[in-house]
Amino acid sequence: MTPKKIACFVEGQTEQIFVEKLFQEIAGYKKISIETYKFQGGKANRIIQSLKPSLVKDAPFFVLLYNCDCDSQVVSDIRKQHESLTNKGYEKILGLRDLYPISLSRKGEVERGIKGFLKPLQKMGIPISMNLAVMEIEAWFLAEWHYLSKLDNRLIPDFILQELGWDLKNIDVEQRPHPSQDLDDIYQLIGCKYDKSEKISQEIINYLDYEFLYLELVGRVQQLKNFIGEIDSFLVK
């Protein structure tokens, strides 16, 4: 059986860990095989390093996941790999990066720039879908507030509202200018620090409530809805 294949390019380690887990949770762990690689070096001397081989054999779905190690490299790496992935029978390319430190007011400008950069490729080969996790992927973690109480039972929405003035149940996380700083502020309430390390990212991603994320958050976090919609479309045989 030939698997259905998709390539996904993300900007960094946190996105890499999250996207891998998200695909597995939506598809089912035994139904999807994922190989993970990391780009290193500058534009002129990019090197691809294998991070994690495929562990599930004969799965009906296959994801080639690239960590581009920088938000500005995601579109460039997609452009360089597009022809090869087309020739290898991939169905689509997904890209995921954030906007920070560019201001939210420039979101439309950035999206138009990405669209223009990729436009020549959209006329040939497989389609490309770029997604912006405005302003950072941590916005999606803020929206899934249930996981915070798994870190520490004090971190419930009422406590965070009392201490920081944010109602996590109702705020528009896509309007937060610096979501990773917001997470750090929450962590500091219990004497900890959010620093994007692999250990902390893995802990968060393991604690996320994916049923809530998939069934509820898509109704109020547009960019998450768009990204999950792309995954759902791919997972139709």
Average pLDDT of span 3-23: 97
The span from the CA of 40 to the CA of 48, in Å, is 6
Which helix or strand (DSSP H or E) is residue 184 part of?
Answer: helix 179-188
102's tokens: 């560019």
pLDDT at residue number 207: 97
Give the amino acid at 230.
E
Q: Is the pLDDT of residue 41 over 90?
A: no
Q: Is the pTM higher than 0.75?
A: yes
Provide the pLDDT confidence category of residue 16 given band limits of 50, 70 and 90.
Answer: very high
Q: Residue 210: name the closest of 140, 153, 131, 151 by CA.
A: 140
Residue 27: is it exposed, middle or buried by C-beta count within 10 angstroms (0-12/13-18/19+)?
A: buried
How do strand 92-97 and strand 61-67 relate by DSSP bridges? unpaired
pLDDT at residue number 237: 76
Give the amino acid at 204.
I
pLDDT at residue number 55: 80
- Phi and psi torsions of 66, nearest 5°: -110, 125
**What is the architecture of the domain spanning 4-136+211-234?**
3-Layer(aba) Sandwich (3.40)
197's tokens: 């390390």
pLDDT at residue number 54: 85
pLDDT at residue number 108: 94
Mean pLDDT of the residues in the chain: 95
Residues whose CB is less than 8 angstroms from the CB of residue 158 and which lie 6 or more positions away in sequence, other chains included: none
Average pLDDT of span 147-168: 97
Q: Is the pLDDT of residue 159 over 90?
A: yes
The span from the CA of 5 to the CA of 88, in Å, is 9
Q: What angle separates helix 157-164 from helix 179-188, to the nearest 10 degrees?
A: 100
Q: Is the pLDDT of residue 173 over 90?
A: yes
Instruction: List, for residues 43-102, the tens digit of each pLDDT value.
Output: 778 899 999 888 888 899 999 999 999 888 999 999 999 999 999 999 999 999 999 999
The span from the CA of 95 to the CA of 66, in Å, is 9
